[in-house]
Amino acid sequence: MLTAILIGFMGAGKTTVGQALAETLDIPFYDTDVLIQQQTQQTPGAIFAQAGEMAFRLQEHAVLEQALAEPQGILATGGGIVEQPENLKLLKATQVPVIYLDAHFGTVAERLMGDVTRPILAEKSFRDVVELYQARLAKYQEVASLVQPVDNRTPKAIVTAIQQELTHV
Check whether 13 is labelled as a binding-site residue. yes
- Report which residue type is found at 118: R
Sheet bearing 4-7, strands edge to edge: 29-31, 74-76, 4-7, 98-102, 146-149
Check whether 33 is labelled as a binding-site residue. yes
Check whether 40 is labelled as a binding-site residue. no
Check whether 111 is labelled as a binding-site residue. no
- CA torsion, ordered 114, 78, 98, 127, to nearest 10 deg: 50
Check whether 16 is labelled as a binding-site residue. yes
* Rounded (5°) CA angle 56-59-26: 115
Check whether 32 is labelled as a binding-site residue. no
Check whether 80 is labelled as a binding-site residue. no
- Report which residue type is found at 145: S
Check whether 24 is labelled as a binding-site residue. no
- Report which residue type is found at 114: G
**Do 102 and 8 contact (CB within 8 A), yes or no?**
yes
Q: Is 79 helix (H, G, I), strand (E, B) or coil?
A: helix
Annotation: binding site for substrate: 33, 57, 79, 136
Binding residues for ATP: 11-16, 118, 153
Binding residues for Mg(2+): 15
Which residues are part of a known binding site?
Answer: 11-16, 33, 57, 79, 118, 136, 153
